[in-house]
C-alpha cells in the first residue's frame, strides 16, 4: 500500500510539473500533503513538514545571498574587464569569436543565473556574429554548453536541489566536482574551437574597421551604440535594460531581407557579404579599451580590484570549507554592498532590483522542504527504494553511481529538475546505499546531465536564449544536442577517473 502510494505521489508530481498543470512551487506543497492525508498521516504531517523546512533552510539562505552577492558584482562592473578583453581579442576572426563567446559565457555563468548569462553574452557577441555573417546557431550552442557546465555551481540550482533532496551538505557534492567541471569546461572550449574553425572556413576572416575613439566615453558599453545603430536602421527591435545598460532584442526578431540567407529546413542565417558591407558602412568594429557591460550610473570601476580580491577570497574560503556556505555568502554580501554602495538609498535600490531573481529560487527551496519532509517522514522513500532494489539486476547494482550519471542525461531533459531531484534521485540514492555508494556520490552523479538539461523545452530561460539569438528552438535543439551529450559524458568520465564517483560500489 505504502509503495503504491509513494509511486503515485511521484508520478502525479511529475505529471503536474511536466504538463504545467501546476507550477513547481505549488506542486511541491500541495501534492505531498494530499498523498500524506490519503496515507493516514494527517496528525503527523505538521512535524514532518517543519523538519523538512528546517533541513533545507541553510540551502535557501545560501542561494539567496549568493544571488545577491553576484548581482552586486555584476552591477559594480567586476565582469567588465573580461568582456572588454574578449571583444578586443576576437577582432574579425570567427574562430576567436566563438571561443571568446564560450569563455565569456563561462565567466558570466559564475553568478549561477542562466538568464543573466544569456542576456550579457548575447548582447556582447551578437553584433559581431551579425556583422561577420556567422551562424547564430553557433552562438546559442556555445553559450548553452558553457552555461550547462557551470550550472552545477552550488548557487546555480541543481546542486542545491540534489543536496536538499539527499540531506547532504552542498559542499560535499560540489567541491569534489570542481575538477570534472574544469575538464568539461576545457572540452566546451575545444568544441567552440572546432565550431569556430568551421565558421572561419565558411565566412573567412573579415577585417573590422576600428571604432572612432571619440565614440565611447569611459565605461560606456560598446554594445549600446552597436545595438542602437541596428535598432535605428530597423534591423532589430528591443529596449535598453536599465540595470545592465544593454539592448535586449525582442524574441523572434528576424534580420533584414538584404542580409539573410534562406537555408534548408526554413532556417535563416546572416549573409556574410551583406553584413560585412554593413559593418564597413557603419564603421562597426572591434571593441575599444573603454567598453564594458555595466550601467555607468551604478558601475564602480575604481573598486574593480577590491571586488576581485573579495570574490577570490570568497571562492578560496568556499573551497577550504572555512565557514558554512550560507554564512560565507551572508558575510561577503554585506561587505560587498557596503563597499560598492555605501548609501542607504543605493542599497535599497540594489536589493529591490535583484529581489525578482531571489524570490522564485528561495521560495522553491522552502517548498521542497515540505515535499522532502513528507517523503522521508512517511517512509515512502524507503518503500520505493525497496521496490527499486528488487527490480535492479544483480549485475547493475554495484554500478548504480554510473547508472545515475547516465540516467541524469535523459531524465533532466524529459522532466524538470524539481521532478528529477526531489522525485527520482532520493530513490536512486536509497537503492545505491545497499551497495556501499554514499548519498553524496549519487548527488554528484545526478548533476552530470545538466549540459543536456538546458536544452529541455521545460527550461524557460532557453526560450530567452533562442529569442535573443534569433534562432528557432527546434534548430537550436538539433544543432546543440550532440555537443551537449558529449559534454555530459566527458564530465562523467572525468568524475570516474578522478574518483569523484565510484565505478563500482563497495558493498
Output the tens digit of pLDDT for each of the chain's 507 residues.
788 898 888 888 878 876 778 887 888 899 999 999 998 898 889 999 999 898 888 878 887 888 788 889 888 888 777 667 766 776 678 898 899 899 989 988 887 767 668 877 877 787 778 777 889 999 999 999 999 999 888 877 788 888 888 888 888 999 999 999 999 999 999 999 999 999 999 887 765 554 434 343 343 333 333 343 444 444 444 443 333 333 344 433 333 333 334 444 444 444 444 444 333 333 333 333 344 556 788 989 899 999 999 988 987 887 787 888 889 989 999 999 999 999 999 999 999 988 877 887 788 778 888 988 898 888 887 777 667 666 767 777 788 899 899 988 887 877 667 778 887 888 888 888 888 889 999 999 999 999 998 887 667 677 778 877 878 777 888 899 999 999 999 999 999 999 999 998 776
Among the listed residues 123, 121, 163, 173, the one whose alpha carbon sits nearest the alpha carbon of residue 145? 121
Q: What is the pLDDT of residue 249?
A: 42
State the Cα–Cα distance between residues 174 and 101, nearest whole angstrom: 25
Q: How many CB atoms lie within 10 A of CB 296?
A: 15
Query: Is the Cα dihedral 467, 472, 474, 480 positive or negative?
Result: negative
pTM strictly above 0.75 = no
Please, how many CA atoms are within 13 Å of residue 286, restricted to the half-sphere of its CB?
20
Q: How many CB atoms lie within 10 A of CB 241?
A: 14
Measured N-to-C along each axis, helices 178-203 and 473-497 cross at an angle, to the nearest 10 degrees, of 140
Q: What is the pLDDT of residue 294?
A: 67
Note whether 294 and 77 are within 8 A (CB).
Answer: yes
Q: How far apart are the first and last CA of the chain?
A: 29
Beta bridge mates, 261 = 269
Q: How many CB atoms lie within 10 A of CB 90?
A: 25
Angle at 104 between CA 103 and CA 110, to 5 degrees: 95
Among the listed residues 256, 286, 284, 283, the one whose alpha carbon sits nearest the alpha carbon of residue 271? 256
Residue 261: strand, helix, or coil: strand
Q: What is the pLDDT of residue 237?
A: 42
Long-range pairs of 499-503 with CB within 8 A, sequence gap ≥ 24 = 500/176, 500/177, 500/179, 500/180, 500/441, 500/444, 501/401, 501/402, 501/405, 501/441, 501/444, 501/445, 502/401, 502/437, 502/441, 503/399, 503/401, 503/402
Amino acid at each position: 500500500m505504502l509503495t503504491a502510494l509513494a509511486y503515485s505521489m511521484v508520478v502525479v508530481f511529475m505529471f503536474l510539473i511536466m504538463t504545467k498543470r501546476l507550477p513547481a512551487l505549488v506542486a511541491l506543497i500541495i501534492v505531498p500533503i494530499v498523498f500524506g492525508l490519503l496515507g493516514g498521516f494527517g496528525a503527523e504531517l505538521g512535524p514532518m513538514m517543519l523538519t523538512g523546512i528546517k533541513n533545507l533552510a541553510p540551502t535557501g539562505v545560501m542561494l539567496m545571498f549568493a544571488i545577491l552577492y553576484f548581482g552586486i558584482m555584476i552591477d559594480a562592473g567586476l565582469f567588465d574587464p573580461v568582456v572588454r578583453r574578449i571583444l578586443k581579442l576576437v577582432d574579425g576572426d570567427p574562430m576567436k569569436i566563438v571561443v571568446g563567446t564560450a569563455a565569456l559565457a563561462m565567466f558570466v555563468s559564475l553568478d549561477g543565473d542562466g538568464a543573466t548569462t544569456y542576456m550579457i553574452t548575447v548582447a556582447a557577441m551578437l553584433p559581431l556574429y551579425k556583422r561577420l555573417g556567422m551562424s547564430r546557431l553557433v552562438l546559442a550552442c556555445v553559450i548553452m554548453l558553457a552555461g550547462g557546465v557551470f550550472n552545477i555551481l552550488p548557487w546555480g540550482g541543481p546542486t542545491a536541489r540534489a543536496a536538499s533532496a539527499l540531506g547532504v551538505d552542498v559542499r560535499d557534492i560540489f567541491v569534489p566536482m570542481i575538477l570534472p567541471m574544469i575538464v568539461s569546461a576545457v572540452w566546451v572550449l575545444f568544441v567552440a574551437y572546432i565550431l569556430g574553425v568551421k565558421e572561419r572556413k565558411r565566412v573567412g576572416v573579415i577585417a573590422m574597421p576600428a571604432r572612432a575613439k571619440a565614440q565611447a566615453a569611459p565605461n560606456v558599453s560598446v554594445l549600446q551604440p552597436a545595438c542602437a545603430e541596428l535598432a535605428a536602421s530597423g534591423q532589430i527591435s528591443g529596449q535598453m535594460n536599465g540595470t545592465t545598460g544593454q539592448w535586449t532584442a525582442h524574441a523572434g526578431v528576424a534580420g533584414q531581407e538584404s542580409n539573410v540567407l534562406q537555408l534548408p529546413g526554413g532556417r535563416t542565417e546572416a549573409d556574410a557579404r551583406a553584413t560585412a558591407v554593413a559593418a564597413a558602412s557603419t564603421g562597426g568594429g572591434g571593441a575599444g579599451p573603454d567598453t564594458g557591460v555595466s550601467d555607468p550610473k551604478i558601475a564602480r570601476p575604481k573598486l574593480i580590484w577590491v571586488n576581485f580580491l573579495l570574490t577570490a577570497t570568497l571562492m578560496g574560503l568556499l573551497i577550504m570549507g572555512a565557514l558554512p556556505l550560507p554564512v560565507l555568502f551572508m558575510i561577503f554580501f554585506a561587505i560587498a554592498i557596503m563597499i560598492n554602495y555605501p548609501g542607504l538609498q543605493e542599497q535599497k535600490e540594489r536589493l529591490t532590483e535583484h529581489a525578482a531573481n531571489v524570490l522564485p529560487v528561495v521560495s522553491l527551496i522552502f517548498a521542497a522542504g515540505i515535499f522532502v519532509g513528507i517523503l522521508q517522514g512517511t517512509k515512502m522513500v524507503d518503500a520505493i527504494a525497496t521496490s527499486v532494489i528488487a527490480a535492479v539486476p544483480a549485475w547493475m547494482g554495484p554500478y548504480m553511481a554510473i547508472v545515475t550519471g547516465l540516467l541524469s542525461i535523459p531524465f533532466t531533459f524529459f522532466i524538470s529538475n524539481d521532478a528529477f531531484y526531489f522525485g527520482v534521485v532520493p530513490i536512486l540514492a536509497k537503492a545505491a546505499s545497499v551497495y556501499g555508494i554514499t548519498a553524496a556520490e549519487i548527488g554528484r552523479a545526478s548533476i552530470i546531465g545538466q549540459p543536456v538539461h538546458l536544452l529541455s523545452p521545460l527550461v524557460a530561460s532557453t526560450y530567452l536564449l533562442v529569442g535573443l539569438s534569433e534562432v528557432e528552438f527546434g534548430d537550436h535543439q538539433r544543432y546543440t544536442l550532440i555537443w551537449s551529450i558529449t559534454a555530459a559524458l566527458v564530465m562523467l568520465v572525468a568524475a570516474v577517473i578522478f574518483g569523484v564517483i565510484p565505478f563500482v560500489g563497495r558493498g
